[in-house]
């Protein structure tokens, strides 16, 4: 509501006016209340015209509040005609789940980062709209860039750019990938304190639907065991499960070489100097441990018991000398019940080379029972393979049941030797020795064991991050060919993961990834006769939590166009 005035030959009149969008989608206004002439009003609200105007503006403010209150309970009458056809290309369904992602996007000030890029490159297209739409589409309906443009055209706020602008923007985003990552980290402190005293690191790879190597797309050991060129990704995640930084490297490179360049970037550009590095054994070589023993850094890495020297392995496999984690009671784990749910540990100094470390071995009866059940199932499958005569082993799969099948050559009186397959009980028994055991190595020589194990247990979250990117956000296969645009693609996936993780955290991680994504995808609206929108989704506890977390609501029976514009502004923190 606002105050307008109208002057005639003999008087000046004051009115309160309300703006609205008519049935043709055009902004217009109407007078809802006449306040009176200046001559009439100055007697009661004077003595000057400024005093009258101040009073009128206060009346307009009160009218606005009253209007908003009325709108909450106001019924809307809209006429439908059973014999009137839809207009050509009329959009009825609008996607609205992106509004909650948009709230996190603007909380991370990504719009300001895009503004810096615009000022640097002087391009005319809206890179903020392109980046945000690609991120939202990656979460809600992952697909190609062309299809993502179509998805964005179904949002409540339609794209103001063209398809070719997306491909132009990819070049900028790819070249500015490191800058954008550092800006996001810096701006993430606007949302809350980062738990960057613990950093998890891991690597994965993504395949391409091509046959020939090209650029960084090289043949390597694919996580999906696919015979295609791959590109590898290394990623840091903080102690709360929020991604911190990533880098890409060729598919044929040793993943251990990927750590140092990215960690140097985290140290210099992100300002993270004091943290505990945590990774699995594959990214915990002696060289990596020495590097993370420098400065104010420390490390906790998984240690393969099978790769320990003979003396340490014998000590680790010995059931005596373990302590219950909860009270340090000494136990012999070989005498524990399968139904025991406690965790046990033992530790000793560990110096495989020059660096003094601490080796901690844990035992979980519950995990041992699980591993035993899995192996028994695999042994049954191995026996079936023997009975069927099909014993070919997939050496790329360490859990292939055929690993339990032994072979021996049998010769019958002068005839050629025949291969006899048998169940290798010695190998089964040898593998069972490691049931329930888990080991870590650390240079934190004085910290409580419980604290060290708690940090190490958080590694599952970075594996979950990669699973979400690959499965839910469909980051692979990758169909782009240009290395710069490939980097832009993974930047989009990485930012989508950060935004999703923050949204998940805001609703206290009470729901599964599938529940959250399914709900966001279903939060759509039917456009009604250019007057407003009707939600087409079901209200649930999860939708309530999303609205409470983001500070706006879309779950009314009817939302006017004006109200929807306010919701859109609120989702951008305006």
pLDDT in tens, 447-458: 999 999 999 999
Region 430-458 average pLDDT:
95
Between 479 and 71, whose confidence is greater?
479
So what's the pLDDT on residue 402?
87
Q: Is the peptide bond before 477 cis (omega within 30 degrees of 0)?
A: yes
* Residues 201/235, Cβ–Cβ less than 8 Å: yes
pLDDT at residue 527 greater than cutoff 80: yes
Write down the H helix ranges in 176-309: 177-188, 259-268, 286-291
Q: Are strands 276-279 and 198-207 parallel, antiparallel or unpaired?
A: parallel
pLDDT, average across residues 98-111: 97
Instruction: Quote the mean pLDDT of the chain.
Output: 91
**Average confidence (pLDDT) over 165-180:** 95
Res 72: pLDDT: 61
| Residue 482: pLDDT band with limits 50, 70, 90 | confident
pLDDT (tens digit per residue) in 544-570: 999 999 999 999 999 999 999 999 999
441 pLDDT higher than 60? yes
Encode pLDDT of 1-55 as tens digits: 899 999 988 899 999 998 877 656 678 888 889 999 999 999 889 899 999 999 9
Indicate if the pLDDT at residue 259 is higher than 80: yes
Higher pLDDT, 124 or 519: 519
Say whether 247 sits in a helix, a strand or coil: strand
pLDDT at position 419 is 79
- CA-nearest of 429, 502, 548, 532 to 94 is 532
Instruction: Look up residue 463 and give its two tokens.
Output: 């594996």
Residue 25 exposed, middle or buried by CB count within 10 Å (0-12, 13-18, 19+): exposed
Determine the pLDDT at residue 23.
Answer: 59
Element (H, E) at 347: strand 344-350
**What pLDDT does residue 398 have?**
74
Strand, coil or helix: 37: strand
CB 463: neighbour CB atoms within 10 A?
14
């Amino acid at each position: 509501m606002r105050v307008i005035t109208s002057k005639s030959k003999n008087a000046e009149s004051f009115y309160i006016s309300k703006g609205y969008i008519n049935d043709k989608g055009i902004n217009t206004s109407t007078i809802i209340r006449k306040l009176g002439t200046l001559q009439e009003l100055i007697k009661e609200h004077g003595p000057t015209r400024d005093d009258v105007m101040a009073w009128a503006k206060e009346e307009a403010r009160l009218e606005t509040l009253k209007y908003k209150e009325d709108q909450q309970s106001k019924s809307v009458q809209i006429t439908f005609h059973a014999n009137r056809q839809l207009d050509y290309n009329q959009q009825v369904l609008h996607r609205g789940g992106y509004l909650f992602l948009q709230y996190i996007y603007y909380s991370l000030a990504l719009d300001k980062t895009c503004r810096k890029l615009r000022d640097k490159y002087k391009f005319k297209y809206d890179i903020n709209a392109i980046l945000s739409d690609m991120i939202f589409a990656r979460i809600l309906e992952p697909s190609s860039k062309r299809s993502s443009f179509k998805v964005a055209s179904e949002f409540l706020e339609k794209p103001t750019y063209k398809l070719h602008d997306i491909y132009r923007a990819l070049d900028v985003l790819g070249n500015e990938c490191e800058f954008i990552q550092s800006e996001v980290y810096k701006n993430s402190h606007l949302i809350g304190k980062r738990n960057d005293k613990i950093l998890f690191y891991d690597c994965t790879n993504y395949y391409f639907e091509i046959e020939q190597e090209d650029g960084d797309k090289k043949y390597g050991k694919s996580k999906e065991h696919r015979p295609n060129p791959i590109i590898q990704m290394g990623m840091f995640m903080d102690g709360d499960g929020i991604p911190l930084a990533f880098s890409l490297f060729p598919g044929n490179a040793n993943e251990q070489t990927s750590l140092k360049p990215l960690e140097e970037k985290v140290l210099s550009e992100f300002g993270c100097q004091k943290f505990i590095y945590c990774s699995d054994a594959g990214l915990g070589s002696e060289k990596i441990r020495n590097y993370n023993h420098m400065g104010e850094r420390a490390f906790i890495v998984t240690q393969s018991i099978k790769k320990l020297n003979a003396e340490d392995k014998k000590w680790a496999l010995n059931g005596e000398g373990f302590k219950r984690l909860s009270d340090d009671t000494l136990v012999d784990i070989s005498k524990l019940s399968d139904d025991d749910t406690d965790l046990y540990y033992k530790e000793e100094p560990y110096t495989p080379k020059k660096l003094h470390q601490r080796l901690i071995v844990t035992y979980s009866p519950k995990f041992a029972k699980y591993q035993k059940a899995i192996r028994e199932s695999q042994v049954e499958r191995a026996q079936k393979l023997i009975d069927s005569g099909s014993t070919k082993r997939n050496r790329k799969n360490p859990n292939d049941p055929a690993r339990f099948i032994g072979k021996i050559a049998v010769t019958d009186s002068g005839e050629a030797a025949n291969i006899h397959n048998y169940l290798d009980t010695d190998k089964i028994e040898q593998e069972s020795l490691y049931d329930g055991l888990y080991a870590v190595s650390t240079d934190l020589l004085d910290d409580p064991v419980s604290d060290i194990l708690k940090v190490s247990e958080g590694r599952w979250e970075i594996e979950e991050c990669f699973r979400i990117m690959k499965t839910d956000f469909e980051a692979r296969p990758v169909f782009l060919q240009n290395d710069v645009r490939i980097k832009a693609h993974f930047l989009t996936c990485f930012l989508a993961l950060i935004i999703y993780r923050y949204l998940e955290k805001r609703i206290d991680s009470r729901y599964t990834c599938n529940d959250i994504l399914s709900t966001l995808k279903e939060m759509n609206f039917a456009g009604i006769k250019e007057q407003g929108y009707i939600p087409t989704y079901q209200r649930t506890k999860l939708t309530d939590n999303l609205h409470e977390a983001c500070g706006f609501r879309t779950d009314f029976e009817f939302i006017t166009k004006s109200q929807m514009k306010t919701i859109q502004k609120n989702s951008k923190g305006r």
